[in-house]
Amino acid sequence: MRPSSAAAGLRGSHPKAKLTQDQVDEIRASRLPGVVLARQFGVAKSTVTWLRRGPSAALVERRQTRRAEVLAGT
């Protein structure tokens, strides 16, 4: 399972997030067209594209860590 990420819009790591990690994994594994998945999950097609082709899980995790540090003021 990939790490959680605010950048990927994961529910629980950001108050406005729309997707859970399981949903992100389902999108990444699906062979359905992006527009179909976007409608199914209530997100933009660009979100589906970003999840499929976007940064690696490690990069997403680093971004989340940096964002948390900024918000904490460290």
pLDDT digits (tens, 9 = 90+) for 6-39: 444 445 566 677 888 899 999 999 999 999 999 9
Query: Domain total for the chain?
Result: 1
What is the rounded CA–CA span in Å between residue 68 and residue 3? 15
Amino acid 45: pLDDT: 95
Amino acid 13: pLDDT: 61
What is the rounded CA–CA span in Å between residue 61 and residue 5? 6
Question: Is 14 a member of any domain?
Answer: no
Question: Is 12 a member of any domain?
Answer: no
| pTM for the structure as a whole | 0.56
Rg (CA), the chain: 13
Query: Any residues with CB less than 8 A from the CB of 49 and at least 6 apart, and which?
Result: 34
Question: Is 3 a member of any domain?
Answer: no
- Written as six digits, the tokens of 32 are 């359905």
Average pLDDT over residues 55-72: 80
Range of the domain at 26: 21-72
